[in-house]
Amino acid sequence: MGQIAENLKTVRERIAKAAARAERDPASIKLVAVSKNKTAEEIKQAYEAGQKCFGENYAQQLKEKYEQLKNLSDIEWHFIGHLQKNKAKIVAPIVSWMETIDSLELASALDSRAVNPINCLIEVNIGGEETKAGVPISKLKTLMGGLANFKNVHLEGLMIIPPYSADPEFSRPFFKKLKEICREYSLEEISMGMSHDFEVAIEEGATIIRVGTAIFGERK
C-alpha cells in the first residue's frame, strides 16, 4: 500500500474511534482531503484509495487539478480558501461546496457563475482574530438573511479555523461555540477540525472535517 493510502486508512480509523466515543455514526462525518500544494497525481492516489472529496485553497490550483482529473468525474471539490470576487468565475463551475463565503457580493458572484447548485458555508471568525478571514459573529445574522434568495447558492452551514494551538483541547471551546450557533440557526453542516484537532471536532459535532497533512504529508 502507498503512503497516502496508508495515511487515509489511519485517518479513517481515527474518525471511527472519535465517532464511537461521541456515539455518532461515522458516516455522518464527511472527510475532505485537503490537497492544496499537492499534485494531481497525489490526489489520484487518494482517490484510488476510495477518497472522493477534496479541498483546495487557490482558484488557479483548483482549476488546473480539476482539468487534469476530469475523467474522475465523481470527485467532489470543496473550496476552502479565501476567494476574491473576481475569481468566482473560475471556482463556481467546478465546486460542489464553497466553505468560505464571507460576503454577499462573493455569494452573488458565485450564484451567477454556477452551473449546478453550490452548497455554501459561511466562514466565521470565531476567535475574533484581526488577521483572520471570516465574518464576525455579530454580522452573521445579516449575511444569512441576504443569502436566502439565491438560485444556485444554498446556505447549509458554517465553517471555522480556530486560533491555532498544537494542543487540540485548545480548539474545543471554539468547536462548542460553533455547534451552538448552528443549532440556534438550524444549520445542518458544521465544518471544523484539521489534522491536529479533528478528533475533538468530531466529539463536538463536526459534520465536515478538513484534513491535509495527516493524509498527504507535510506541505512545502
Q: Which residue is nearest to ligand PLP (CB)?
A: 212
- 146: region left, alpha or beta (phi > 0 left; psi from -120 to 50 alpha): alpha
CA dihedral 190, 196, 202, 204 (to 10 degrees): -80
Please say which residue, 112 or 196, places its beta carbon nearer to ligand PLP.
Answer: 196
Please say which residue, 66 or 216, places its beta carbon nearer to ligand PLP.
Answer: 216
Bridge partners (DSSP) of residue 211 are: 33
Please say which residue, 144 or 214, places its beta carbon nearer to ligand PLP.
Answer: 214
In this structure, are residues 178 and 134 in contact, taking their beta carbons and an 8 Å threshold? no
Rounded least distance, CB 210 to ligand PLP, Å: 4
Rounded least distance, CB 188 to ligand PLP, Å: 19
Please say which residue, 18 or 194, places its beta carbon nearer to ligand PLP.
Answer: 194
Q: Is 27 helix (H, G, I), strand (E, B) or coil?
A: helix
Rounded least distance, CB 1 to ligand PLP, Å: 21
Q: Applying CB under 6 A, which residues contact ligand PLP?
A: 34, 36, 57, 80, 161, 194-195, 210-214
- Three-point CA angle 139, 140, 141, nearest 5°: 100
